Amino acid sequence: MASANAVLSPHVDAILPRTRPPLPDFTAELPPFEAAPGRERLIQFREALREAMSEEMRRDKRVFLLGEEVAQYNGAYKISQGMLDEFGPKRIIDSPISENGFAGLAVGAAMYGLKPIIEFMSWSFSLVAADQILNNVPKMLYMSGGQWGCPVVFRGNDGAGGQLGSTHSWCVEGLYSNVPGVKIVIPSNPYDAKGLLKTAIRDYDPVFFLESERMLGDKAHVPEEEYYIPFGQAHLRREGGDCTLVSFGRPVNFCLEADAALRKDGIECDVLDMRTIRPLDIDSIIRSVRKTGRLVVVDQCWPFASVASEVITQVVERAFDWLDHQPLRVNTEDVPTPYAKNLEAEYLPNPAKIAAAVRRSLGR
């Protein structure tokens, strides 16, 4: 089989050598998740994403951003605000309203040695590009015998965005996590959003980076120094011995609210933020379950064949003898996403549902 370099344009190959730069040193200690009072650097979730992309674009000229309204309009959600002025129209590129087209462009660009960041205005629209992102991107390295990979970062808003209706409210992680060859990242806060996105851009494999429109304005401490968060390492956000709460993305914050309410009644939970679900840090979950004997998984996907289902299956396979109660899950209701505000709130996981599941696991 011909080598990859044999088919590349000499001009492109000279400018963009296909050598793999070293990945970050993940053994380095991460800066504190929370700063000392008065020393916080509070920025929005969207600003953390912008910083991550800008820092990596300054570091590596192969990185570019492509999507609908990312350039002239500064991003539909103002995530890419100001980036066109700094990097110019060859690296911050407005696309037509054609997800299948610009996702396919990313496949070719990545095979040529570039590092595309593709923004879907909503992951609901990624369904239009399913053939490209599920049938081509994850399989390219395998099907080319290791000659070509597709190191593309696909990112955008995932899940119910607040009265957007059924067709604009997909939680795609339950569907897409079934496909081998992709990494799936779902941050729950600005600190993780920056560190995980920087890692995603440096990664050699395709990464699906799922954000939440409802969190883009959230503010939290984000350190000024450069840092990278490794994939497949959960973050223990709260420690307790009564029950293990596992979640990822926006519902992590509901778990923290539920745990705060439960602590008033003397119930304390381990709250595990998974950060990534491909790869999944099942070892951290098992360690916690061995301590607590109880498990509640909170997942904003529909319940059938969900990420929660997979987590519970792996726990039962590996830690059944440590369970004192059957594992429980809190998902969205098994119906299309309602438009009405009150129905949408009831449809989603919430602190009350989570607290009730924890009490049930304790027989209360």
- Active site (catalytic) residues: 99, 168
H helices of 21-96, in order, are 45-59, 83-87
For residue 189, the 8-state DSSP code is S
72 near 26, Cβ under 8 Å? no
Look at strands 115-120 and 63-67 and give their pairing: parallel
Look at strands 295-298 and 243-247 and give their pairing: parallel
Q: Tokens 């696991």 correspond to what residue?
A: 361
- Distance (Å, rounded) from C-alpha 189 to C-alpha 219? 8
> 245-283 b/e with 16+ CB inside 10 Å = b?
bbbbbbbbbbbbebbeebeeeebbbbbbbbbbbbebbbe
9: nearest Cα among 118, 109, 141: 109
